[in-house]
Amino acid sequence: MPALQLPNRKTAMLKFVYKIKKRAKDKGDHRIIKHGQVSEFSLRELNRNIEQLKKQAKEMEVNARLQNSLAENIRRQNPDLATYIKKLSPKKRYALTLLAIQENKAKQFKDQEKMSKSILRTLIREDKEVRSQLKL
């Protein structure tokens, strides 16, 4: 499985040279050597990683929207939270706590989504480069 490299926005993608180590009947199962970094993988493994990251990014996006919706419901039901925080009843404090939790979860999912999409873009570029260099 290829080592996942986090993209650095300040530099372009590193240049690697790809060679087929062992051919297979199905080109998706060719064993490929990546020079410039020690890494061996097949296109099938790379594509499996791409699909997994697409799914993960989508799940994070959906979860972030869900958490934002839950937080908005809490805000709508309790518009006075920020203004009257010191005078809140236990029930209102509980609602405020739920709001903070939902907002925090939404931010976490959004951050995870961004990371997944960043890694996904890197893997897709690598897949194109491997196919281009090896004419697959």
Q: Is residue 64 part of a domain?
A: yes
Q: In what order do the strands lie in the sheet with 17-22?
A: 17-22, 31-35, 39-41
For residue 61, being part of any structural domain is answered with yes
Q: What is the pLDDT of residue 89?
A: 87
- Residue 75 in any domain: the answer is yes
Q: Which domain covers residue 26, as residue numbers?
A: 17-134
- Is 127 part of any domain? yes
pLDDT value at residue 90: 86
Q: How many helices and strands (H and E) does the chain possess?
A: 2, 3
Q: 30 lies in a domain?
A: yes
* Number of domain units in the chain: 1
Decide: pTM greater than 0.75.
no
Structural domain contains residue 22: yes
Tell me the sheet residues that pair with 39.
34
Residues of the chain with pLDDT under 50: 1-11
In a domain? residue 81: yes
Please check whether residue 10 lies inside any domain of the structure. no
